[in-house]
Amino acid sequence: MEKDNNDYIQNIRDALPEDGTIADLADLFKMFGDPTRAKILGCLQLRDLNVGEIADVLGMSVSAVSHQLRILRAGKLVKGTKEGKEVKYSLDDDHVTKIMEYGLTHVNEER
């Protein structure tokens, strides 16, 4: 019986992602851990916006929003597309939308 249990435990260990992958996953979720960044992602879930529009919606300074957008861009959660002299920001891909949707669903189930 002990050998079966050891095999069972080893199978679970083998199925886990590598430590580097787990660290990257934890870093990804840290991006969502800041309320301001979560609000920015929520805005961009609704439509593409420039930094000034995001600042207006959230009642924040342009520089504060720009700082958070730099972090979100570095985390590959948002992307910017140049339109004339301004940059329109959007969610980087559908995965970000799904993470937001699943997270909100989970939070709202608890209420």
Give residue-wise pLDDT tens across range 19-28.
999 999 999 9
- Which range marks the domain in which residue 47 is found? 35-109
> Which ranges constitute the DSSP H helices of 16-75?
19-31, 35-46, 51-58, 62-74
Give residue-wise pLDDT tens across range 36-59.
999 999 999 999 999 999 999 999
Identify whether residues 27 and 46 lie together within a single domain.
no
Identify whether residues 52 and 67 lie together within a single domain.
yes
Q: What does residue 88 show for φ and ψ, rounded to 5 degrees?
A: -95, 130
Q: What does residue 10 show for φ and ψ, rounded to 5 degrees?
A: -65, -40
* Percent share of the chain, pLDDT over 70: 96
Give residue-wise pLDDT tens across range 62-101.
999 999 999 999 999 999 999 899 999 999 999 999 999 9
Classify the phi-psi angles of 76: left when phi > 0, otherwise alpha if psi is within -120 to 50, otherwise beta: left
Number of domains in the chain: 2
